[in-house]
Amino acid sequence: MKSFKRVHTPNELLNRVQDNMSLFADALVKIPLLDGILVKDVALGTTEVRINHTLGRKPQGWIIVKKNAAADIYESGSTLTDRYLSLTATATVTASIWIF
């Protein structure tokens, strides 16, 4: 998530509005959950699946936002990296995952 870009202007009122907006936007940027990516329709099964998350950094966590079967999904033996998240499921399932 990008931070607020302030534009210099001779209008003092507009500068103060931008200052306040910058404070608000900077607070949002610091919330890890908002700085993520949705990976849709990942086919998972009982063997490890490596998901390329494209965050460019090691994820802080992940949330299953949709799945089409009753299956538990868990992080498998491999560790989180700046490129991949490895997941395994207890049954065959297709899931959408918010990785942050």
Structural domain total, the chain:
2
CB crowding 29-61: b at 16 or more within 10 Å, else e: eeeeeebbeebeebebeeeebebebebeeebee
What average pLDDT values come out for the chain (100 residues) when binned by 10 residues? 80 92 87 92 96 93 97 87 94 98
Judge if 10 and 51 occupy the same domain.
no
What is the pLDDT at residue 28? 87
What are 70's two structure tokens? 């009753």
Residue 25, domain extent: 1-30
Cα separation of 74 and 83, whole Å?
18
Looking at the fold, whether 45 and 65 belong to one and the same domain comes out as yes
Q: Do 43 and 79 share a domain, yes or no?
A: yes
Q: What is the pLDDT of residue 1?
A: 61
Residues 25 and 61 in one domain: no
Same domain, 44 and 91: yes
Please report the pLDDT score of residue 4 as a whole number: 76
Residue 59 exposure: Cα atoms within 13 Å on the Cβ side: 24
The verdict on 20 and 43 lying in the same domain is no
pTM of this structure: 0.75
